[in-house]
Amino acid sequence: MSDPGPVVSAPTPTAASGRSLPALLRDPTIRASILAIFFYGFSGAATAPYQSVIGLTELKLGNGLYALLILLGATVNVLVSISIGILADRIGRYRSLMIVVGLFGVTGYGLIYAVPTPASFVLASLLLLPVYHSINSLLFANVRVTTDRLDGAAAGAVNSTVRAAISLSWVLVPGLVALLLVGRASMLPAYLIASLAALATVLAVLVLLPDNPARPRAAPTGAAASAYLAGFAEVLSPRVFVRLLALALIASTLHVNAAVLPMIVTGAAGGDVTDIGVTVGAVALLEVVFIFVWAGIQRRIGNVRALIAGTVIYAAYLALLGLASSPVHVYALTLLSGFGAAAIISIPITYLQDLIAGRPGLGSSLISVNFFMAGGLCAALFAFGTWITDYSGTSILGALAALAGAALLFALDGRRAAVK
């Protein structure tokens, strides 16, 4: 039997598929999900910029242990996200699970703040926070249930809008937290802020999110152990895994950029740390704007072709960044960077969900799997690139990886992508 690929063919028209994006955003589930995911992004944005400072400088963990914690925490998050996705599909309930895993975030961030010891940091990083981060997949799964009757492009537009809420939090929160903590001897209060943001996420789900607006299609029945094994087997199946590889190649370039941009700005481009901050902030703001632009493009040309177009644009940005020789060049590239990055961070969500159609929980857990694979590929690209060349050359290598991912995606699904 030939490989059918993900669900990208033209959908059957419905009344829902004809609704405009503003009309869709009036749905209470989508509105509550946007608010919840904003606060989820708030918790991450409040702590991520200071995590290494707290772990290495304040708690004296050591470079080796800290690196191991990051790797193991990401691995636990992937395993938990898949497991909870399978469970959510079996029981047909997302809201209650989101409340439970959200409380893990309240506890994890709060523990580090209240008991600032290496042991509490390790416990939170290895167990509590990886479980909390699975709420990201659950929120998108719940949105997917709501938009299940929409065509792929319309569902993608909704997903992009929900995803924009995370980007907005990253635009607003790091600077706000820095302003609140300026002059303090410790950055630990950032974890208190994150704990409160996680609590706000739980409250948004508990108070505002309707309980199960639509029940997902039947998940596999049978013994729980067999269902879990079947779920993991489906994630690792050739049909799914090769497409995850294509998306991971594309998404890894965002990580490559995060690694090489500061070094190029302060090195080959001759800038300073102020230029880094201005550039990163400008790109983050542009991403929020361009996510909505890509939502419209998706509705016209389909998810796959829109993602390929965005990837080519981002590859052009990385190649030009590798040639930058002054801060002016880097600033001139922010528009290109923001436009391409907006496509890469928003469009894959619907494509990943469609890889395991009919199982929103498991399909949405692929978001975490893709993030994990992208981080691993970035590490390999960065190590290889800096071994054979410099940071500028590594940026160009990242561009080639993006094009390779786009070519693989086009070979798999580009010709079958629906055009509206």
For the stretch 118-175, pLDDT in tens is 999 999 999 999 999 999 989 988 888 877 766 666 677 777 788 888 888 888 888 7
Q: Are residues 204 and 227 in the same domain?
A: no
Q: Are residues 171 and 239 in the same domain?
A: no
pLDDT at 89: 81
Distance CA 329, CA 258 (A): 17
Q: Are residues 323 and 183 in the same domain?
A: no
Of 178, 212, 246, the residue that ends a domain is: 212
- What domain count does the chain have? 2
Distance CA 97, CA 75 (A): 20
Q: Which of 218, 242, 216, 224 is nearest to 355 (CA)?
A: 242
Q: Is residue 15 part of a domain?
A: no
Q: Is residue 48 part of a domain?
A: yes
- Give the 3-state secondary structure of residue 227: helix
pLDDT at 158: 79
| Whole-number Cα distances in Å, 102 to 42, 133, 200, 201, 348 | 13, 8, 9, 7, 24
- Is 3 within 8 Å of 411 (Cβ atoms)? no
Q: Residue 178's CB: how many other CB atoms inside 10 A?
A: 14
Q: Are residues 332 and 399 in the same domain?
A: yes
Q: Which of 376, 371, 303, 293 is nearest to 137 (CA)?
A: 371
- Is 283 within 8 Å of 317 (Cβ atoms)? no
Q: Are residues 325 and 361 in the same domain?
A: yes
How far is C-alpha 5 from the geometric centre of its chain's CA atoms? 23
Q: Are residues 86 and 155 in the same domain?
A: yes
Q: Is residue 399 part of a domain?
A: yes
Which positions of the chain have pLDDT values less than 70? 1-24, 149-154, 212-228, 416-420
Q: Residue 169's CB: how many other CB atoms inside 10 A?
A: 24
- In which domain, by residue range, is 182 found? 20-212
Q: Are residues 56 and 193 in the same domain?
A: yes
pLDDT at 227: 64
Q: Is residue 138 part of a domain?
A: yes
Which domain CATH number covers 47?
1.20.1250.20
Q: Are residues 186 and 243 in the same domain?
A: no
Q: Are residues 36 and 54 in the same domain?
A: yes
Q: Is residue 381 part of a domain?
A: yes
pTM recorded for the entire structure = 0.80
Q: Are residues 184 and 118 in the same domain?
A: yes
pLDDT at 150: 64
Q: Which of 119, 153, 157 is nearest to 10 (CA)?
A: 153
Q: Is 167 exposed, middle or buried (0-12, 13-18, 19+ CB in 10 A)?
A: buried
Q: Are residues 195 and 242 in the same domain?
A: no
Of 159, 187, 212, the residue that ends a domain is: 212
pLDDT at 5: 41
Distance CA 377, CA 250 (A): 10
Q: Which of 317, 335, 321 is nearest to 265 (CA)?
A: 321
pLDDT at 174: 81
- Is 214 within 8 Å of 150 (Cβ atoms)? no
Of 212, 242, 269, the residue that ends a domain is: 212
DSSP letter at 56 equals I
- Give the 3-state secondary structure of residue 233: helix
Q: Is residue 300 part of a domain?
A: yes
Q: Is residue 280 part of a domain?
A: yes
Distant-in-sequence, close-in-space partners of 329: CB < 8 Å, separation ≥ 6? 269, 320, 323
| Whole-number Cα distances in Å, 15 to 18, 20, 149, 159, 354 | 6, 11, 9, 19, 21
How far is C-alpha 159 from the geometric centre of its chain's CA atoms? 12
Q: Are residues 60 and 149 in the same domain?
A: yes
Distance CA 47, CA 40 (A): 12
Q: Residue 63's CB: how many other CB atoms inside 10 A?
A: 10
Q: Is residue 202 part of a domain?
A: yes
